[in-house]
């Protein structure tokens, strides 16, 4: 690793927190994950999106050293997966469904997890107090885990994953089974955590990833379909520019004129007014619509930009896979 | 490494103390032990523990798998094995901590039966050496059974299935010993040398040779190795 030498003109670039190079995992003969390459920077919240069976959990299991990759390599905080114990020390992992010991009470479970990570007794008590406040489980610390609701169990799992203050959190569907209020709380918590830590979280709920993550990748059938911010993905998927326009009258003359101007413009009548699309996201739709309306003496009462939602991107990206098959 | 060993070992004791099953099994074992000990003492007037130690292989065959069955099977069933396997702990430590718990638990039961040895000493002259050899043999047998039970638990994600497998495996060793007389002479010698139960019987007679200690320990290590292999296998599939 290059040393940081102030004043020498060298800039120190830390290695990414997670770096994966052509990660591949086969189960029997079928590939659950194929040639997956990506990186997650320090302090970044990365979302792993995909339909069921896309390979999200398998990817996480490889990064947490539960399953070795069939091919490819990866490192966490610069440590290759082969140095498994060191990697595991740096990671806080919440597996799918947040497994916990049903026969233990919450405090004993947390004490066990903390001691497994080698936390000294005094630190452990402080961390348990801190994490049970953060995750809102203080009032259930003495309850047996099998008496808790799914939501509480999920929070206990999250508290356990963060107990040893890891630099990197890997969370497999952290909000499954929670009620809407809990989902909002956990999302806020992840957002807060993302200010200090690197988080990789998987979800099949698009709005969640959009709300929480800096960047996201879309997996389908084990392959990376797209990677970027939600705006980049929308652009990448060919979302283009869209606008909804309403006139006092019918607006037909303005729309006919507009449609005649550019072959690539799509104009269609919808329940709310007219829906106009152009494949180029930078196309000056507003200006063209306004001019067409002025030229034909139509009066505009509403003009609204239509964003390509992540749902559209997701559907487009993952249905490509279906077409291919 | 040691801290994770004790953390895991402590967790197993905690679960065992927090759930009724541990108490039920321990009570049943002590009750059965008391019955066989009393039977020899009062029915046949024997002031020794040979009769009791004689039925111990059968008793432990029923009770040890009840301790070991959940150790790995339940971790798999509840999904906590993934949690465990992604913590900074080696498979070897997992096996060692779980085995140490199982052996410790059965060992604790055996220690409790020392009350019987104490009461014999009050009643009359007892052969202390023979009883001590009996206990050494019993602890070694418990280690062997615990390792077989742990291996059985690594084969299934359902503890009841793990119990049955563990029971059948030790039963196979027991039956092999029991039918030794029907085998050709050469085979009988081999069996006498390698069977952990044959060495157990020899130690009950008060004779403890080095091989009587080594052979049961070697079998224990073999089954611990198989359990380790079974947990590591997912890495190679």
Residue A296 has pLDDT above 50, yes or no: yes
With bands split at pLDDT 50, 70 and 90, how would you rate the model's confidence at B50?
Answer: confident
Percent of chain B at pLDDT above 90?
A: 57
DSSP 3-state of B164: helix
Phi, psi of A71 (to 5 degrees): -140, 170
B70 and B153 in contact (C-beta within 8 Å)? yes
Of A269-283, A304-318, B19-33, B179-193, where does mean pLDDT reach its minimum? A304-318
Higher pLDDT, B68 or B128: B68
Q: How many CB pairs under 8 A join A and B?
A: 80
- Interface predicted TM-score (ipTM): 0.89
CA distance B14 to B133: 31
Q: What is the pLDDT of residues A150-167, one digit of tens each?
A: 888 988 999 999 999 999
Q: Do A95 and B15 touch (CB under 8 A)?
A: no
Position A323 confidence tier, pLDDT thresholds 50, 70, 90: very low
Highest mean pLDDT among A161-165, B120-124, B187-191: A161-165
Give B1's contacts in chain A (Cβ within 8 Å): none
| Contact indicator for A293, A300 with CB cutoff of 8 Å | yes
Chain position carrying tokens 């609204």: A304
Nearest Cα neighbor of A142 from A111, A112, A98, A108 is A108
For residue A309, name the pLDDT band (cuts at 50, 70, 90): low
CATH 3.40.50.300 in chain A: give the residue spans: 18-235
Distance, CA of B45 to chain centre: 29
For the domain covering A18-235, report its CATH number.
3.40.50.300
Interchain CB contact of B87 with A (< 8 Å): yes
Judge whether B157 is closer than 8 Å to chain A, CB to CB. Answer: no
Q: List CB contacts (< 8 A) between B19 and chain A.
A: 103
In angstroms, the CA A76 to CA A211 distance is 25
From CA B146, how far away is CA B169, in angstroms rounded?
12
Which chain B residues are closer than 8 Å to A81 by Cβ?
A: none
CA distance B41 to B197: 24
Count of C-beta atoms within a 10 Å radius of residue A208: 20
Residues of B in contact with A91 (CB under 8 A): 86
- Residue A248 has what pLDDT? 87
β-bridge partners, A226: A218
Residues of A within 8 A of B82 (CB-CB) are: 61, 66, 95, 99
pLDDT at A12: 60
Q: Give the residue range(s) of CATH 3.30.70.980 domains in chain A.
A: 240-307
- The answer to whether the CB atoms of A95 and B6 lie below 8 A apart is no
Is A304 in contact with A244 (CB distance < 8 Å)? yes
Strands A18-27 vs A30-40: parallel, antiparallel or unpaired: antiparallel
| Nearest CB partner across the interface for B78, out of A96, A99, A105 | A99
Residue B218 has pLDDT above 70, yes or no: yes
Q: Which helix (H) or strand (E) holds B227?
A: helix B210-236
CB nearest to B18's CB, from A99, A100, A103: A103
What is the full DSSP assignment across A87-135? HHHHEEEE-TT----TTSBHHHHHHHHHHHTT--HHHHHHHHHHHHHHT
Contact across the interface for B86 and A116, Cβ inside 8 Å: no
Q: Best of B86, B232, B236 to disrupt the A interface by mutation (most A CBs within 10 Å)?
A: B86
**Least CB-CB distance to B19: which of A91, A103, A116?**
A103
Protein fold of A240-307? Alpha-Beta Plaits (3.30.70)
Whether the predicted pLDDT of A8 surpasses 60: no
Q: In this complex, do A64 and B86 lie within 8 Å of one another by their Cβ atoms? A: yes
Query: Is B189 at the interface with chain A, CB within 8 A?
Result: no
At B181 the pLDDT is: 75
B18 touches chain A (CB under 8 A): yes
Q: What percent of chain A has pLDDT over 70?
A: 90
Shortest CA distance from B16: residue in chain A? A103
Asked if B234 has any chain A CB less than 8 Å from its own CB, the reply is yes
């Amino acid at each position: 690793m290059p040393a940081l030498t102030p004043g020498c003109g060298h800039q120190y670039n830390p290695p990414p927190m997670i770096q994966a190079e052509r990660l591949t995992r086969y189960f029997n003969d079928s590939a659950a994950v194929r040639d997956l390459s990506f990186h997650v920077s320090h302090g970044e919240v990365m979302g792993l999106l995909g339909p069921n069976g896309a390979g999200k959990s398998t990817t996480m299991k490889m990064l947490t050293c539960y399953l070795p990759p069939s091919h490819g390599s990866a490192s966490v905080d610069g440590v290759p997966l082969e140095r498994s114990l060191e990697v595991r020390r740096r990671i806080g992992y919440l597996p799918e469904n947040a497994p916990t010991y049903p026969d233990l009470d919450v405090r004993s479970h947390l004490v066990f997890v903390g001691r497994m990570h080698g936390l000294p007794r005094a630190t452990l008590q402080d961390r348990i107090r801190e994490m049970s406040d953060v995750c809102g489980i203080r009032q259930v610390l003495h309850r047996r885990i099998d008496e808790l609701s799914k939501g509480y169990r999920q929070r206990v799992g999250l508290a356990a994953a963060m107990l040893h203050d890891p630099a990197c959190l890997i969370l497999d569907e952290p909000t499954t089974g929670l009620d809407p209020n809990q989902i909002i709380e956990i999302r806020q918590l992840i957002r807060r955590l993302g200010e200090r830590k690197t988080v990789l979280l998987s979800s099949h709920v698009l709005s969640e990833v959009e709300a929480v993550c800096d960047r996201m990748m879309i997996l389908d059938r084990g392959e990376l379909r797209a990677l970027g911010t939600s705006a980049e993905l929308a652009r990448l998927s060919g979302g283009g520019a869209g606008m909804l326009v309403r006139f006092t009258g019918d607006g037909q003359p303005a729309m006919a004129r507009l449609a005649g101007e550019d072959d690539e413009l799509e104009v269609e009548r919808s329940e709310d007014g007219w829906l106009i699309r152009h494949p180029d996201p930078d196309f000056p739709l507003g200006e063209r619509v306004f001019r067409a309306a002025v030229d034909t003496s139509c009066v505009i009462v509403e003009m609204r930009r239509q964003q390509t939602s992540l749902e559209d991107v997701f559907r487009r990206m993952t249905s490509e896979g279906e077409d291919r098959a | 490494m040691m801290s994770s060993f004790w953390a895991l070992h402590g967790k197993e004791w905690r679960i065992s103390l927090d759930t009724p099953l541990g108490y039920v099994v321990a009570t049943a074992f002590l009750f059965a032990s008391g019955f066989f000990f009393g039977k020899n003492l009062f029915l046949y007037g024997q002031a020794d523990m040979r009769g009791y130690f004689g039925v111990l292989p059968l008793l432990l065959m029923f009770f040890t798998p009840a301790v070991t069955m959940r150790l790995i099977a339940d971790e798999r069933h509840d999904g906590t094995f993934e949690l465990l396997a992604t913590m900074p702990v080696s498979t070897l430590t997992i096996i060692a901590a779980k085995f140490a718990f199982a052996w410790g638990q059965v060992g604790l039961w055996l220690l409790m039966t020392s009350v019987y040895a104490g009461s014999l000493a009050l009643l009359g002259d007892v052969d202390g050496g023979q009883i001590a050899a009996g206990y050494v043999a019993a602890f070694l047998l418990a280690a062997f059974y615990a390792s077989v039970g742990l291996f059985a638990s690594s084969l299934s994600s359902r503890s009841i299935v793990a119990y049955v497998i563990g029971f059948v495996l030790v039963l196979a060793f027991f039956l092999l010993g029991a039918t030794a007389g029907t085998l050709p002479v050469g085979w009988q010698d081999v069996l006498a040398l390698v069977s952990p139960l044959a060495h157990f019987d020899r130690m009950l007679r008060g004779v403890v040779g080095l091989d009587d200690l080594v052979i049961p320990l070697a079998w224990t290590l073999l089954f611990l190795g198989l359990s380790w292999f079974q947990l590591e296998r997912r890495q190679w599939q």
